[in-house]
Structure 1
């Protein structure tokens, strides 16, 4: 089963991080990715640009509102995602705990049925 790991964090701390701190984090991400690949669990993922670059669309009946910025104004924003293959949610949690991130939200991916 596939699970989407939404990586969350405080963008201010990343913006304030120096080159050495960023390098260390990217090395931790490299080790995490290697671990996923060795387990056959890696299905992709990416770092996301700063939430200020997001565009949000809200539909209210026939009315469409397009705004700059994230859906919610919070300190923690989604900073990336990882798609993993896991037996069950317990294994997905195990993988998520290895993430070099303070926060992660785990979502099961709904299996697509082949329809005629």
Structure 2
């Protein structure tokens, strides 16, 4: 099986005024997603939510600056790593990933021992 990252991009403002009930619904949606992955034939191997983009430190050319690297309405807010038989299954799994405030991106993980390019 190959590994794929499901990257969750959403507008952080979507969460800024979210009620506790709204947050509970988000958590419930992600819990439901994690139970659907094996039902589709995939394996969830990791994942997590990221702290707000305002806590980010960008490093470019050896210099560190506060804040995200790029200005964008949507930011990387979380991720999952799944094992799937192929990219088509990874995409089907990713379609179920909650991202009400944005969307998701699927990217294969590479084995650094091989040259993927």
TM-score (norm 2): 0.87
Total equivalences in the alignment: 110
Q: Distance in 1 between matches of 2:37 and 2:86?
A: 15
Structure 1 position 111 matched with structure 2 position 104: no
Partner of 2:35: 34
Task: Please say if residues 42 and 84 of structure 2, whose CA atoms lie closer than 8 Å, have aligned partners that are also in contact.
Answer: no
SS at match of 1:105: strand
Q: Distance in 2 between matches of 1:53 and 1:66?
A: 13
Deviations 1:21-79 (A, max 9, x none): 110110010011122245451011000000010111001xxxx2210111111110000
Pair member with larger Rg? 1
Partner of 2:75: 77
Task: Please say if residues 42 and 85 of structure 2, whose CA atoms lie closer than 8 Å, have aligned partners that are also in contact.
Answer: no
TM-score (norm 1): 0.88
Q: Once superposed, which parts of structure 1, at least 4 consecutive aligned residues long, lie more than 4 Å away?
A: none
* 5+ long unaligned stretches in structure 1: none
Task: Please say if residues 6 and 80 of structure 2, whose CA atoms lie closer than 8 Å, have aligned partners that are also in contact.
Answer: yes
SS at match of 2:21: helix
Q: In the superposition, relative to structure 1, how do residues 42 and 28 fare at CA in structure 2: closer, same or farther (>3 Å)? A: same
